[in-house]
Structure 1
Amino acid sequence: MAKTIPSLADIETITIGSRPPGRPDDGGRGGGERPPSLPEGSYRLAMLFALASIGMLFLGFTSAYIVRQGLGEDWHPFSPPSILWANTALLLMSSATLHRARSLLRREAIRESLRWLSLTTLLGLLFLAGQYEAWRQLTAQGIYLSTNPHSSFFYLLTAAHGAHLLGGLLALGYLTWRGWRRRLLLMGTPDHLKRYGALVGTAALYWHFMDGLWVYLFILLFLWR
């Protein structure tokens, strides 16, 4: 699964890491910095390919879930712990805060955008902590991976989603750290701001997909019969 999560640093290196032969250094950009050689759409295209592979993986899980559900009498679904509802709300809020961060970034309100991006990262951390707490509560009730097929799928699907979401959280954390570290450069250099905005947009696409995927999994596990 880890191979399906592209590194934003890798994307940036591939797309903007080298200057075309014969192109002079842009001396007026500070330290020979160069603008992106490819538009934001190139970042998004790379991410869309990755999301397609993740989607196929979870469609395979869904197929196995539905088939196994209909095979016997040992399928005993349990009600979701209340904390899962809170976790869902946290993740939906994180999509809203990330959207706000991007809107402010487009208006070049750098400091305000970084505050919202920091809040998004915090909400993502709280979601993962909440998922761990949900696991802890279930094991305290005697519901384990091997208890019955439904519990097995619950642990499998939430673990797979959590691992992929952690990849997005690491990307957001990196972009948040990088933004605060280089905020003065972003304020004064349009090329740097455009490049940074493209990376944030790519991370946002991934994050919104993970949010939608969790809502889908929650419905599949607990609301769909």
Structure 2
Amino acid sequence: MLVTTTKPVEIEHDPRDPADRGPGKTGGGDAGEGGRRPPEIPKYTGGGGDGDDWSKRPAGHRGPRESLQRHRFGLFSALIGDLMFFVAIVGAFLVRRSSFHIDAYNSVVTDWRAIQVPSILWLNTIVLALSSVTVEMARRGMFVERGVMEEWLGIGRPVTRRVMPWLLATLVLGSGFVAGQVVAWRQLAAQHIFYATSPAMHFFYLITGVHALHLAVGLAALIVAVVGMRFIPKFGARQVLVDCTAWYWHAMGVLWIFLFVLLEYCQ
């Protein structure tokens, strides 16, 4: 009998087949040899499933940044509405300045008379600009990383010690601005220039008075911020308070510069 022997057929295994992988095998070596990336090792952060990714948490529970952004949005929305009010005043100012009528002799007649803006308003503008710098220093001081960590952990209050002088300086400068506005009104009264003197005076008192009322709101917010830095226990709440107060103060500063240019150069 003729016995025939055959060579066993070699079976080629696909390195991508999970069944062919032994313990510790990655199915093709590193990315350079097998053309495949090694399996990714899951990262465990101890965060209960979503790690430290606050964005995966439900709305209202995404940490202090969500609260800060929500309060900023509310503040900016209110400021936009307030801006529309001042736009209406400025529009009325420009229309009234350009108004005229034709008399019986076909001559153009207008009762608008430009006024001399008190020079103290220049000083007031510089004071308000400086106060915007000090309140910004206070706002940025609330977000210095090292101090924030110490406050969150209850080690101490380094942020409070750093921010408080800037808040107090802003409060003093802001009070000085309002006092300067009162001095300007008294200077005009001493010259017998009152609200009913001319249409230009109507708008001068209206614009400066309404802005002073808005700045008084800012001063009240600064007082609350100073007191809150001492007595509000939650650091996140103190951050929101100082941040929103600073942005409101900046808005009032920019608005005043625009109004001052309007009164000084656009009469």
TM-score bucket of the superposed structures, by smaller chain:
0.7 to 0.9
Look at both structures and tell me which one has the larger radius of gyration over its CA atoms: 2
Q: Percent identity?
A: 38
Give the paired residue count.
Answer: 185
Unaligned runs of 5+ in 1: 1-19, 24-34, 186-191
Matches within 5 A, 1:102-121: 102-107=139-144, 108=147, 109-121=159-171
Deviation (angstroms), 1:215: 0.5
The 2-side partners of 1:42 and 1:199 are apart by: 12
Q: What is the TM-score when the length of structure 2 is the normalising length? A: 0.65
- Which of 153, 172, 180 does residue 122 from structure 1 map onto? 172
Report the CA distance between 1:180 and its aligned residue: 3.1
How much has 1:143 moved relative to structure 2? 1.1
* Residues 1:142 and 2:179 are matched in the alignment: no
Deviates more, 1:135-144 or 1:74-83: 74-83
Displacement of 1:194 in angstroms is 2.4
- Residue 217 of structure 2 corresponds to 167
Tell me, in whole angstroms, the C-alpha distance in 2 between the residues paired with 1:83 and 1:112: 32
Q: 2:129 aligns with which of 85, 92, 108?
A: 92
Task: Determine which structure has the larger helix proportion and give its number.
Answer: 1
Q: Using the alignment, how far apart are the partners of 1:124 and 1:138 within structure 2?
A: 22
Taking structure 1 as the reference length, what is the TM-score of the superposition? 0.77
Name the aligned partner's letter for residue 83 of structure 1.
Answer: I
Distance 2:245 2:142 in 1: 14
Q: Post-superposition shift, 1:41? A: 0.7
Q: Which runs of 4+ in 1 moved over 3 A?
A: 35-38
Aligned partners of 1:131, 1:177: CA distance in 2, in Å?
26
Residue number in structure 2 paired with 1:27: none
The range that moved more, 152-161 or 69-78, is: 69-78
Match for 1:105: what amino acid?
A: M
1:44-83 correspondence runs (5 A): 44-72=72-100, 73-83=110-120
The CA deviation at 1:76 is: 1.3
Aligned-partner residue type, residue 86 of structure 1: L
Deviations 1:139-172 (A, max 9, x none): 1111110110111100011111111111111011
After superposition, the CA RMSD in angstroms is: 1.9
| Higher RCO (C-alpha under 8 Å, 6+ residues apart) | 1
